[in-house]
Amino acid sequence: MNSDVIIIGAGPGGYETAVYAAKKGLSVTLFEQRKAGGTCLHEGCIPTKCLCRSAEIADTITDCDTWGFHVSAPTIDFRRIMERKNEVVAQLTSGIEFLLKHKLITYISERAELFDAHTVISESGEKYTAAHILIATGSTAKRPPIEGCDLPGVLTSTEMLDIDHIPQKLCIIGAGVIGLEFASIFRSFGSTVTMLEYAKEILPNFDSDISKRLKQVLSKRGIEFYNQAAVESIERSGAQLLVHYTHKGKECSTEADIVLIAVGRSPRVESIGLDNAGIRYSPKGIETDDTLRTNIPGIYAIGDVNGHCMLAHAASFQGRKVIDHILGIDNRIKLDIIPAAVFTRPEAGMVGLTEEECKQRGVPFTVKKTLFRANGKAISMGEPNGLCKLIADENGKIIGAHIFGAHAADLVQEVSALMNRETTVAQLKEMIHAHPTLSEILQECAREF
């Protein structure tokens, strides 16, 4: 069977690219061995956001006296929380499957791999050819080589989303985005949470001012952090798991009902026929150029599998960029401006360069900060903990934003839009913002320059 484009993998990068290509008049054959939607919909972004919302409600009820409501202590129905999560995922999966019924899209629910540089072979043995092949196979949760990592009760984020109870004691190895979101969620549900992180700070890729403040607030919520902690082994001790680690040279251990391994994700490069096609890759992902092309003409790699930026929205826009490149369309998508967020309580969001990156690259910059506690909307919401940090270059152009506080993910998106239009802090000062809104924090920060 022949088509204009073959896509292997129907996560956000795969299915959104298929729909976009079809709208542009290209015929597409799309393969997915599991369910359409990929990691984001089934094992990541969406299910965790459902749990984040339930955790937010739990916190609101706990603090209801502050808002003038007196209620008895609520009982958490964890079964219902997980049911709702599954309902949301099912609803969105159905929506994606509807989109894929486009007349120019052939959706095949089978595993597929490259047969050679021009051909893909399906699980059932059928061969498919196309002028252009996109690899969008995503990533898998890492399991580090720690003794006892395969014991029952030692889970990755994938299995954590299907547990049937709230653990009394939860130990999380890794304090990146995934680990912190689960820590925040299950602390709200009543778990005792201990976090072990090898690096000096949590959220190693975020601005240090943001990660330090987030750690302070989460610590006040009762989450226990141990940075510079190297996990040595995990063993079963009766009904508990015992995690052994060294912390700043001292041997330590902690007990847990469940141990969550949250040390990142690995590009899914195995068993997809990369060697058959002669594609260059490593454990860090498939090698690509600025247009997402591999070393083999006509073959591209988008999303987690190329290791550039493991975010669902990055995959979607990489796919759009590829299709435009194929069609010769002038594409101005700036893949160096990709906002990111961690949905803890409070949230953290970022886009562009951090202060540390500016120093490392020798980029002249100016940085200014504004606190949430000076914002009327934040105070009225009962969310005074927060920081906004803007970074501008020597010409005043905004090159970075780092926000910690309520709705940080939404606030950083405004800055992302401004950065795409090369806006200066002087221009931001003159843009009228509605009052009272959290977005005024951005303008107030710009006025500090």
1 is in an annotated binding site: no
Residue 179 assigned ligand-binding role: yes
Question: Per-residue b/e over 12-43, b at no fewer than 16 CB within 10 Å?
Answer: bbbbbbbbbbbebebbbbbbbeeebbbbbbbb
Is 178 annotated as belonging to a binding site?
yes
Question: Is 313 within any annotated ligand binding site?
Answer: yes
Could you tell me whether strands 112-114 and 169-173 are parallel, antiparallel, or unpaired per DSSP bridges? unpaired
Does the annotation place 35 within a ligand binding site?
no
Instruction: Give the integer Cα–Cα distance in Å for 51 and 229.
Output: 28
Residue 215 assigned ligand-binding role: no
Output the CA angle 138-139-141, nearest 5 degrees.
155
**C-alpha distance from residue 203 to each of 55, 63, 69 (Å):** 21, 28, 36
Handedness of CA 169, 158, 201, 341 (dihedral sign): negative
* 150 annotated ligand binder: no
* Residue bearing tokens 């009762």: 222
Question: Does 180 count as an annotated binding residue?
Answer: yes
Q: Is residue 176 annotated as involved in ligand binding?
A: yes
Please say whether the beta carbons of 110 and 126 come within 8 A. Answer: no
Flag whether 141 is marked binding.
no
37 marked ligand binding residue = no
Residue 386 in marked binding region: no
Catalytic residue (one of 165, 244, 433, 435): 435
- Would you state the structure tokens that stand for residue 110, as one six-digit string? 């089978």
Question: CA nearest 7: which of 331, 290, 316?
Answer: 316
Please indicate if the annotation marks 24 as binding a ligand.
no
Question: Is 304 marked within a binding site?
Answer: yes
Whether residue 49 is annotated as binding a ligand: the answer is yes
* CA max distance for the chain: 67
Instruction: Return phi, psi of residue 190, to 5°.
Output: 110, 0
Q: Which residue type is seen at 449?
A: F
Interior CA angle at 402 toward 399 and 407, to 5°?
Answer: 130
435 assigned to active site: yes
- What are the binding residues for FAD? 49, 137-139, 304, 310-313
- What are the binding residues for NAD(+)? 174-181, 197, 264
- What are the binding residues? 49, 137-139, 174-181, 197, 264, 304, 310-313
Active-site positions read 435
